[in-house]
Amino acid sequence: MDFIKVKTAAQGYEKAMTAFLRDLIAIPGESSGEEGHVRRIEKEMKNLGFDKVEIDPMGNVMGVMGTGEKLIAFDGHIDTVGIGNRDNWTFDPYQGYETETEIGGRGASDQLGGIVSVVYGAKVMKDLGLLSDKYRVLVTGTVQEEDCDGLCWQYIVNEDHVKPEFVVITEPTDGNIYRGQRGRMEIRVEVKGVSCHGSAPERGKNAIYMMADILQEIRGLNERLHYDPFLGKGTVTVSEIFYSSPSRCAVADGCAVSLDRRLTDGETYQSALEEVRALPSCQKYNAEVTMYQYARPSWKGLTYPTDCYFPTWVLPEDHPATQAMVESYRAMFGEPLVDKWTFSTNGVSIMGRYGIPCIGFGPGKEAQAHAPNEKTWKADLVRCCAVYAALPAMYCK
């Protein structure tokens, strides 16, 4: 492979990728509201000569380049979080900005830049004749990841009946290659009390006081969770609290909390639920410990319910997909750092649920995700485009 030619071709598309990304940033596209992003990506894929472009019943946009036997997929979720407190932004999050080196705006790093780089990576494959009868490339612009990571791929695997040889996750990787992540789950803990008039609290059972005992034990649980040498320690923290009471002059008769539970390698949703259920105060107060479910309609109106469980996954260092990614990067940009994500990605379903190998490489930085004044770097778009273009041929050589 002529890697200099690949790098030059990717560099030649910098202006086009910048314009494409700025167009996407200018279109609001939070979870279940991605239609504008889908239509813009569909248009770009068709203009660049993808062999097949379609939108599935859930609303994922899917483009195919080539006709070879092996299916190699590149995934980029195309929904974004909201902008949060507008006062924290120094520029308009949708108008964004552009300098000689940077592009700013909501979704610049997380993760509209990923879909931009891979759409043009597929174009470079076609331009340079890198496609062969050995493989075809699927580029997916997937929906609802910010709300429910991996739900889109549950649909793609189970309903679209798509199962690639492996998948490249194009979430931001700080210029590194990532081969795993902790999983997560969303837990609800609820206790029931008995209300009474606030002037005589001894007549009732205050559910908030019960929960206060439980919360201290959850804090302690976090300190003793399992540690994995590669992914690090599992964690648990309280993310929300709810109550019920007849009035502000009454003892609370109900209290519930949401827990964000990060699962390291070796932990399961069953073990995580049982750890909470076994806490002394949960036993004492007969706390109900359950897992949340997600059932929100997509922008096309399709509801695909699932448990809020997002499994851990790790791809071995010696896996052919890891090695092909490392070789592709090394040939053009030097020795890469191979590491893992801190946050969660669609890999929780692709590899976590279905065992389809995943490898991560994407433009932007993790620290930009969900933050005000989000930005990415033009050099990252070009670098990722080049590596994406080389990867399938390196894998199939």
Distance of CA 338 to the CA centre of its chain: 19
Could you tell me which of 95, 180, 128, 109 has the C-alpha nearest to residue 381?
109
pLDDT of residue 152: 98
159 alpha-carbon distance from chain centroid: 20
Distance CA 137, CA 282 (A): 50
Q: What is the pLDDT of residues 79-135, one digit of tens each?
A: 999 999 999 999 999 999 999 999 999 999 999 999 999 999 999 999 999 998 999
Give the residue from 304, 275, 267, 296 showing the smallest Cα distance to 184.
Answer: 267
- Look at strands 97-98 and 102-104 and give their pairing: antiparallel
Output the pTM of the full model: 0.94
The answer, yes or no, to whether residue 163 has pLDDT greater than 90, is yes
Triad 143, 69, 158: Cα angle to 5°: 35
329 and 175 Cβ atoms separated by less than 8 Å: no
**Phi, psi of 67, rounded to the nearest 5 degrees:** -135, 15
Answer yes or no: are the C-beta atoms of 162 and 56 closer than 8 Å: no
* pLDDT of amino acid 122: 98
The span from the CA of 305 to the CA of 241, in Å, is: 24
CB atoms under 10 Å from CB of 99, counted, come to 10
- Average pLDDT, rounded, for the chain: 97
Residue 246: other Cβ atoms inside 10 A: 13
Q: Mean pLDDT, to the nearest integer, of 239-261?
A: 98
Residue 397: what pLDDT?
86
Q: Sign of torsion, CA 299 30 156 63?
A: positive
| 351: pLDDT strictly greater than 90 | yes
| Beta strand spans in 30-69 (E) | 52-55, 61-65
For strand 227-228 and strand 232-233, is the pairing parallel, antiparallel, or unpaired?
antiparallel
What average pLDDT score do residues 199-220 get? 98
- The residues carrying an active-site annotation are 79, 145
Measured between alpha carbons, how far is residue 344 from residues 312, 369, 371 in Å?
A: 9, 11, 16
Query: Residue 291 — very low, low, confident or very high, per pLDDT cuts 50/70/90?
Result: very high
Farthest CA pair distance, the chain = 82
What are the tens digits of pLDDT across the range 64-82? 999 999 999 999 999 999 9
Structure token pair of residue 48? 């660049």
Q: In this predicted model, what pLDDT tens digit does every residue of 307-347 receive, in sequence order?
A: 999 999 999 999 999 999 999 999 999 999 999 999 999 99
Q: Helix, strand or coil for residue 90?
A: coil
- Our measurement of the distance from residue 252's CA atom to the centroid of its chain's CA atoms, rounded to an integer in Å, reads 37
